Amino acid sequence: MAHILDTEHLLAISGKKRNDRDDEDGDATVAKKSSLMACEADPAVALASIRHEFGEHGGVNMSIEASATFTVMEPDTMRRMFAGELGPENDFFVYSRHFNPTVLNLSRKMAALEGTQAAYCTSSGMAAISSVLLQLCSSGGHVVASKTLYGGTHALLSHFLPRTCNITTSFVDITDHGAVADAIVEGRTHVLYFESMANPTLTVADTPELSRIAHEKGVMVVVDNTFTPMVLSPVKFGADVVVHSISKFISGGADIIAGAVCGSEKLVKGMMDLRGGSLMLLGPTMNAKVAFELSERIPHLGLRMKEHSRRAQVYAERMRELGMKVIYPGLKDHPHHKLATEMVNREYGYGGLLSIDMETEERANKLMTYLQNATQFGLMAVSLGYYETLMSCSSSSTSSELDPSQKAAAGISPGLVRMSVGYAGTLEQKWTQFEKAFIRM
């Protein structure tokens, strides 16, 4: 029962219940054109181009379909659904671990956001990452990955997958394209994996060149775009799959755990296949109520990202003037500033993350203590994308899965403070709070 979750098919759904597939041809033709336009457009344009889902009784918001299972009018319909003849593209649903109408609505928005044919939403970002890797790699398979990754992803690749699945990973400096090419073993390497903007060093990946290298050797490119939704669009530059922790900027409220896989129609069909799909069989299902909540937040994601980025740019420039060692791609002295400028969707800046290298953990902790407890500039907490500024010492928190040598190789110093810049209060109010803490340091 491998069904398709893509913009074309979902736009073709007329909203009528239980229609036969043959009645949809005219709508599908129009939908295909809309889908292609959305994939090529600015993310905000793409999101505004998809069909709006109305509620069951005409409400402006889509109704929440909380059912785990779905009824049919005739016994043969169930047989046809399990045979793959009928599916969600025709408004036929069988079980919410497979497809759910409310989750489909959010997934359609994620596909539009990243300009992909299809998307599927999961219960967490790590569920999205692990499911994609397990779908693309078999036992004995090989991954080439950036040595600078979120700690959980690094642990998955370096410990869990080798132990449980016999899938190994070669970690490389993603900015050394020669090393990337040399690490790929043709016929064995299945995936090149990296973050569009690395956690926590904010290294910017050259997605066009990395995609060219991988594709020349028949390797799929999977990019984690959690740090830069709206800001960067990896698929435009050659990526095959984009994964997200929706828990971060897309949610924006630090109150939901969720993820997404955005890719080709073929990939999503495969991941939802009854007999061999990683999403279908491992079951990292998103709750329909969570999907509804997130669907209501995506329309203002662009506005939020612009303000996150604007403040991060101003703070980074002012911190630099104070003599601090600041890492931010929007600064002209960032080593990848020119590359980032060529790739970013201009209206959205360079992202809402910046890092400050305090050199030692003691100094990093002292700064964060003053910023939270003395001046209320931000909060000591992991994660990112919240309306309040969040800060953590990466070496001892979100990158703690790496051993000391791996941290050194990744460029993560003991005193690196990762800061997710929020937009609560006014910019000048919050900057005054930062300055007061800096003076006390």
What sign does the CA torsion over 138, 142, 145, 151 have?
positive
Instruction: Band the pLDDT of 1: cuts 50, 70, 90.
Output: very low
Cα angle value 60/61/67 (rounded, 5°): 140
Choose among 281, 240, 237: nearest CA to 263: 240
List pLDDT tens digits, range 196-236: 999 999 999 999 999 999 999 999 999 999 999 999 999 99
Architecture of domain 301-439: Alpha-Beta Complex (3.90)
Structure tokens at 22: 């043959």
Measured CA to CA, the distance from residue 156 to residue 253 in angstroms comes to 26
What pLDDT score was predicted for residue 410?
Answer: 73
pLDDT at residue 5, rounded to an integer: 39
The structure's pTM equals 0.89
Strand partners, 121: 260
pLDDT tens per residue across span 186-205: 999 999 999 999 999 999 99
pLDDT at 9 over 80: no
Structural fold of domain 37-65+100-298: Aspartate Aminotransferase; domain 2 (3.40.640)
Nearest-5° Cα angle at 114, 91 to 178: 135
> What's the rounded mean pLDDT across residues 366-372?
96
- Residue 406, pLDDT score: 81
pLDDT at 404 over 70: yes
Identical fold between 37-65+100-298 and 301-439 = no
Q: What is the pLDDT of residues 127-171, one digit of tens each?
A: 999 999 999 999 999 999 999 999 999 999 999 999 999 999 999
More confident residue, 371 or 407: 371
Q: What is the mean pLDDT of residues 2-26?
A: 36
Q: Indicate the domain borders of the chain.
A: 37-65+100-298, 301-439
